[in-house]
Amino acid sequence: MAEMTYRTALVTGASSGLGRGLALWLAKHGVRVFATGRRLSHLQALAAEAQAAGAAVEPVVMDVSAVEPSQERIRAIDAECGGLDLVVANAGIGGPTHGKRMDWERTRSIIDTNVTGAAATLCAVLPQMVERRRGHVVGVSSLAGMRGLAGHAAYSASKAFVATFLESLRVDLKGTGVQVTCVYPGFVKSELTAKNTFPMPFLMETEDAVERMGRAIFAGAAEVSFPWQLAAPMRVLKVMPNPLFDATARRLK
């Protein structure tokens, strides 16, 4: 497949963390970026930083868990800009959901954003991309989605959904001109991880993680996972027999 030239991109969850970093990285590489999020002031600060670097980021206030309005907005942007080349479903939330202290409201919130919101983002202009025989959809999963981690049932499951959803899309879209990439980050410095109260091995700087994401997207990689020091053992856990995994997960929690 020939390497794509990216003119336009939409990145969700761009108010902070990986989404903000990727939006800025893409803009600095000459892409017109529509940066979406719920906090206008954060998006405006991002746009100002991009402008100072001679790049173009356009703030779009959007809550991906509000599916219909979000899809309508993405489709309107697609029509206005002459077709989005890249759509990145990055918006996500976390938090503990322990089986012994299950909080349904938190669980539902994680599903609404990480599952329903991500799928709606990825699907919003996919038919148009297929018709144009051009485009790239990217979803941000997590190394935590490779197995059901103790105390984080909703988060692990939500990220497993993203990975499996993208895998099926990748198979379906082969030969259409539409590329699919799944990103599996480990621990990256962000507002989300700053709230964690447990050890975060091999915690990465946001800039390093963004660089790896951006290069993988431009290369049309099917998957990218980082850091390797955490990705390698997580892939071992993925194929580990359940009794052994259960014992290991209980020790790790």
> Whose CA is closest to 162, among 136, 201, 123?
123
User: Is pLDDT above 60 for 5?
Assistant: yes
**CA–CA distance, 205 with 160 (Å, rounded to integer):** 24
- Calculate mean pLDDT across residues 29-36: 98
Structure confidence at residue 189 (pLDDT)? 79
**CA–CA distance, 126 with 122 (Å, rounded to integer):** 7
Structure confidence at residue 206 (pLDDT)? 92
| Distances in whole angstroms, Cα of residue 86 to Cα of each of 22, 77, 105, 137 | 12, 12, 32, 6
Residue 80: beta bridge partners?
none
**DSSP H or E run through 212:** helix 206-219
- Calculate mean pLDDT across residues 1-17: 88
**155 a catalytic residue:** yes
Residues 6+ apart with CB under 8 A from 141: 159, 160, 162, 163, 166, 182, 183, 184
- Least confident piece of the model among 80-84, 94-98, 151-155, 191-195: 191-195
How many C-alpha atoms does 18 have within 13 Å on its Cβ side? Answer: 28
Structure confidence at residue 174 (pLDDT)? 97
**CA–CA distance, 253 with 192 (Å, rounded to integer):** 19
- Calculate mean pLDDT across residues 40-53: 97
The catalytic residue among 6, 25, 155, 226 is 155
> Whose CA is closest to 162, among 91, 103, 101, 216?
91
φ, ψ (nearest 5 deg) of residue 59: -70, 140
Taking only the tens place, the pLDDT of each residue in 187-209 is 887 766 667 666 677 788 999 99
Give the chain's domains with CATH numbers.
Answer: 8-252 (3.40.50.720)
Taking only the tens place, the pLDDT of each residue in 139-182 is 999 999 999 999 999 999 999 999 999 999 999 999 999 999 99
**Residues of 168-181 as b/e, b for ≥16 C-beta within 10 angstroms?**
ebbeebeeebbbbb
User: Is pLDDT above 60 for 103?
Assistant: yes
Give the pLDDT band of residue 1 (cuts 50, 70, 90): very low
